[in-house]
Amino acid sequence: MAKGSSIRQRLAGWSRELGPIVLSVALVLVVRTVVAEPYTVPTPSMVPTLLVGDELIASKYAYGYSKYSLPLGQLPGFSGRVFDHAPERGDVVVFRLPRDPSTTYVKRVIGLPGDRIQMRSGRLYINDALVPRRAVGPFDSQAAGYGLPSTLYVETLPGGREHEIVEFSDTDRLDDTPVYVVPAKHYFMMGDNRDNSLDSRVAAADGGVGFVPEENLVARADLLLMSRNPAVGWLDVVHWPQAFRFDRSFDRVH
């Protein structure tokens, strides 16, 4: 057999083997760009809604697409959004940090464009109206990352949407703030773990989140796929029953 013919046969064989792999990778990228993308919660800032180690499925199509929709990096030369849908107050959103777009955060939308947001003595005010909350009872302070006695509340946003929050104090450093007026095409984000969240209450210039531009929105957190306590190592088989929080699997994110 001629040497050239042998090389062509090898190349044809490699092509047949690589074809399905390339197709699979392309399909995964399309799905993660257009439909949904997984996200692992790294911090306790959204406790009790999200715990450290929660694996989320976030819907990419919920708000449309921007240059940050690609899972492998930014789309150069693209600005704005296509198929744009505005988030609703109370949505839990995955977004790119304005001061460092390589970093991804997850927080709750509290302020919409034009809203006036303020914290007074630990209580949230939206457009100068006190947001109601009712106490549920004590909360696991270790899960909240405080190490101090904490309280679980249910907060009711304008429009009637409810979600849980955790507080250990109404006199912490972010419990009294100036009035924040949310600019057009921006959103005000807060963590449900109110005394342990770096969010829009801290300006980007001061190392915080600040107002989040609409193009930085990546996806809406919709579903908890699974939850695992990262404090338990993968090789620590004996403690696996305590590591996996099976009761959280396939829960909706509220």
Where along the chain do its domains lie?
Answer: 1-34, 35-248
Residue 15: the pLDDT is: 46
Residue 5: its pLDDT value, please? 62
Residue 237 CB-density burial (10 A; 0-12 exposed, 13-18 middle, 19+ buried): exposed
Assigned CATH topology for domain 35-248: Umud Fragment, subunit A (2.10.109)
208 within 8 A of 191, measured Cβ to Cβ: no
* pLDDT value for 68: 86
Strands 217-227 and 100-111: unpaired
> What pTM does this model have?
0.83
- Per the annotation, the verdict on 45 as an active-site residue is yes
Catalytic residue among 66, 107, 150, 197: 107
Yes or no: say if 23 and 31 are a contact pair by the CB < 8 Å rule. no
Given a cut of 50, the residues of the chain with pLDDT beneath it are: 1, 11, 14-15, 17-35
**How much is the pLDDT for 230?**
84
